[in-house]
């Protein structure tokens, strides 16, 4: 991370109470900085119900870290914005038969969106505990008025397992230009070691799993609460034979293997008929029907206004692996056909295809996989 000039900036830290954001505060404090810290409150929709999460423990940890380094901590209530923007997006996509990613939209609409509306606009920089990096590219121009122009690139972290650029690939250009990632150059073990060495309260906390606002509630229970159940047929794709029933297409995703309740497996979900509420499955270990090599993406979101080249790498889910591909531009602006060099398992409409350069270093942005 380039720390040059930070002393002259007003910095806000998004402090969740986890080990990563706690080490962010330490990294800034060791420079003699005392950034203002903010805990973003989202939580369950009904705060009086059993749908609670670890907010109380999170806030306790965040308070301890802020106090240790002499930083002010403020709780920012983005509960309503989260449910109006992110949870609503999730339900609408699932209802339409797609596979949404709430974490991606939470970064764009809440952590950098709603937070900026409420508090962030008063700060020059926003620091987070994401495993990602940024690079500044100076633009060359014969126009003297543009000689100092620059663009910001979102770049991958050295830890491929923890790299979170895929979760950030839908943020706006102004959000990218404002964010800094003080631990983005570390691997996870190094962050843990720093937290232990500095005796941070969160040093041994486990990484959060799943979708925070659900707390202790299973994702399928969340969908059942809002979408209910509707029995439909499970059909074998190759034969057209009805082999079982399901309780709603929204409980199943393309590529799913577990939780189908079918005998004689393994079975994979390979297709969904949303209008007829039919789930199509294929039988066997890694059937060819569970893979796709060419698929369309739409509404490409560029992180900094630069569109991707022909030869790229990409990923469609949060894994440490990138895939090589060529992009074929379609007449419709922002739409492409992705020609993957190898078949990809579980390509599903609604997922974000995140596009990088050939070295899987710079991220251009992302687009939704089309139906």
Q: CA separation (Å) from 324 to 145, 297, 307, 315, 359?
A: 39, 16, 17, 9, 10
The single residue of 37, 53, 71, 106 carrying the catalytic annotation is 106
Annotation marks residue 106 as catalytic? yes
Q: Which residue of the set 53, 78, 155, 212 is catalytic? A: 212
Q: Is residue 212 annotated as part of the catalytic site, yes or no?
A: yes
Other residues' Cβ atoms within 10 Å of the Cβ of residue 163? 25
CA distances from 32 to 25, 27, 69, 297, 333 (A): 11, 9, 10, 46, 47
List the catalytic residues.
106, 212
């Amino acid at each position: 991370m380039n720390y040059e000039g930070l002393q002259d900036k007003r910095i806000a830290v998004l402090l969740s109470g986890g080990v990563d954001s706690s080490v962010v505060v330490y990294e800034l404090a060791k420079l003699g900085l005392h950034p203002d810290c903010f805990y973003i409150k989202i939580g369950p929709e009904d705060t009086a119900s059993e749908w609670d999460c670890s907010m109380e423990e999170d806030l306790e940890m965040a308070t301890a870290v802020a106090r240790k380094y002499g930083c002010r901590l403020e709780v920012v209530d983005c509960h309503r914005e989260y449910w109006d923007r992110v949870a609503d997006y999730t339900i609408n996509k699932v209802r339409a038969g797609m596979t949404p990613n709430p974490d991606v939209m939470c970064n764009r609409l809440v952590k950098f969106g709603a937070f900026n509306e409420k508090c962030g606009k008063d700060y020059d920089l926003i620091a987070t505990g994401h495993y990602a990096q940024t690079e500044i590219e100076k633009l060359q121009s014969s126009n003297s008025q543009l000689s100092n122009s620059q663009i910001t690139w979102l770049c991958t972290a050295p830890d491929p397992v923890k790299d979170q650029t895929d979760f950030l690939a839908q943020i706006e250009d102004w959000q990218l230009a404002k964010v800094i990632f003080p631990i983005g150059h570390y691997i996870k073990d190094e962050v843990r070691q720093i937290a232990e060495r500095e005796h941070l309260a969160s040093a041994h906390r486990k990484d959060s799993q799943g979708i925070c606002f659900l707390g202790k509630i299973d994702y399928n229970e969340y969908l059942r609460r809002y979408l209910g159940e509707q029995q439909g047929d499970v059909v074998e794709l190759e034969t057209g034979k009805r082999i079982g029933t399901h309780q709603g297409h929204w409980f199943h995703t393309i590529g799913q293997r577990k939780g189908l309740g079918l005998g004689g497996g393994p079975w994979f979900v390979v297709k969904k008929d949303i209008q007829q509420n039919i789930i199509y499955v294929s039988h066997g270990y890694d059937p060819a029907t569970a893979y796709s090599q060419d698929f369309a993406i739409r509404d490409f979101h560029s992180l900094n206004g630069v569109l991707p080249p022909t030869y790229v790498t990409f990923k469609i889910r949060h894994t440490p692996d990138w895939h090589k591909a060529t992009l074929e531009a379609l007449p419709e602006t922002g739409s492409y056909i992705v020609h993957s060099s190898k078949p990809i398992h579980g390509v599903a409409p609604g997922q974000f295809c995140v596009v990088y350069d050939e070295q899987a270093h710079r991220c251009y942005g992302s687009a939704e996989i089309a139906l």
